[in-house]
Amino acid sequence: MIKAFVVDHDRLHPVDHLIANSADVVWVDLVNPTREEEKAVELWIGVSVPTREEMEEIEISSRLYAENGAYVMTATLPAQADDDRPEMLPVTFMLAGERLITIRYHEPRAFKTFPLRAEKTDIGCTNGETILVSLLEAIVDRLADVLERASRDVIAISQDMFGSTEKKASKRDRDFRRIIHRIGSKEDLVSKVQDSLLTLQRLSGFLANIVAQDNQAKVMRARVKTIARDVSSLSDHASFQTQKINFLLDATLGMINIEQSGIIKIFSVAAVVFLPPTLVASIYGMNFDVMPELQWTWGYPIALGVMVLSAVLPFWFFRRKGWL
C-alpha cells in the first residue's frame, strides 16, 4: 500500500494517487508494498527501493548508505508495544532530494500518530528532511513512553516481591512463579527497546553527517543533535532497567532457594525429632522372652512417656540454640 502526503501551509495532507500528484508529494509511506508499488516509487525518485531481505541485514553498510544522491537509513522499531511482546521489524527511511520515502512491514505507533498530528498542527514539515526529523522525534517519544511503562512495571514487581505478606508456602510458590514470568516479560521488552535504540543511535549519527553538509540548516542540526542525545539517554536508562531486572531475577531465585531450604530444614528437624521415639518403639517392639517391663503395670504408659519426652527434648534443644 502506498500512502502519499503533500505539504500545504507547513502541514501534511494525504493524497490518493502518487503519480497524479508526483510533483507535490514530499512523503511516500510504503506499507507491505508489492513489487509493482516498489517500481512506481523507484520510477518516481530514480533510486531502487531496498527489499525486505536487504532491510533485515544487520551490517551497518547495508543499513546506512548513500546511493545515486539518495540516503538510505534503516532502524529496527517496535510495534504493538503496549504489551510485553512487541513486534520488532526494520523500517527504512530514504531521503531523495526534498522527498522522504519510508518502507515498512508492520505498524509502529508513531506512523499512526505523526501524520494525524502533522495534518492538524503546523510542526514545520516543509520537505522530506524536516518530515524525517519530526517523525524520528515522534518515534523517540514513543520509545520513551514504552520505557517509562516498563520502569513502572519493574517497580511494581519489586514491591510485590519484597512486600509480600503471604504466609502459606504454596501460595508463595505460585507468587514467585508469576513474578519470574513477569520479570522475563519485562526483560524481553527492555532488551528489544535497547536493540531499537542502538539502531536509532547509529541512524542519528548518520543523519547528523547528512544535515551537517547543509550550512544553512542550523535548526535541523540542533534538532538532530537533540534526537541523538535523547536516544543516548534512553539507552542509558534501558541499561539501568536491565540491571534492575537482573537484580530482581537474582533476588527472586534467592528467595526461592530460601523457601526450599526452609522446607528441607523442617523435614530434617522432623526426622531428628522422631528418631528417638522410633528407637524406643523399636526396642519395645522386639520379641524377647525376658523383658521385665512387659510385666509392669505402668510399663506401657511409661514407654509412651519416654517416646514423647525423647521427641520434646530435641525440639526444645533446637529452639534454645536458635536453629528453629
Q: Which residues contact 20 (CB under 8 A, 6 or more apart)?
A: none
CATH number of the domain to which 222 belongs? 3.30.460.20
Give DSSP secondary structure letters for 107-176. Answer: --THHHHHHHHHHHS-----SHHHHHHHHHHHHHHHHHHHHHHHHHHHHHHHHHHHT-----HHHHHHHH
CATH number of the domain to which 300 belongs? 1.20.58.340
Distance of alpha carbon 105 from its chain centroid, rounded? Answer: 21
Residue 321 has pLDDT above 80, yes or no: no
Q: Among 259, 284, 309, identify where a domain stops.
A: 259
90 and 225 inside one domain: yes
88 burial class (0-12, 13-18, 19+ CB within 10 angstroms)?
Answer: middle
Q: Around Cβ 202, how many Cβ atoms within 10 Å?
A: 17
Q: For the chain, how many structural domains are there in total?
A: 2
- pLDDT tens readout for residues 71-97: 889 999 988 877 778 888 999 999 888
Q: Around Cβ 30, how many Cβ atoms within 10 Å?
A: 21
Pair 100, 131: CB distance under 8 Å: yes
Determine the pLDDT at residue 86: 86
271 and 210 inside one domain: no
The band of 323, judged by pLDDT with boundaries at 50, 70 and 90, is: low
> How far apart, in whole angstroms, are the C-alpha atoms of residue 232 and residue 225?
11
234 and 293 inside one domain: no
150 and 254 inside one domain: yes
Q: How far is CA 227 from CA 34, 132, 231, in A?
A: 32, 12, 6
- pLDDT tens readout for residues 242-271: 888 888 888 888 877 777 777 677 777 777
Q: In terms of residue numbers, what domain contains 47? A: 2-259
Residue showing cell 501460595: 171
Pair 32, 38: CB distance under 8 Å: no
0.85 surpassed by pTM: no
32 and 70 inside one domain: yes
> What's the helix, strand, coil split of the chain in %, to 5?
65, 15, 20
- pLDDT tens readout for residues 271-282: 777 777 777 777
Q: Among 206, 241, 259, identify where a domain stops.
A: 259
92 and 168 inside one domain: yes
Q: Among 243, 259, 275, identify where a domain stops.
A: 259
Residue showing cell 537509513: 73
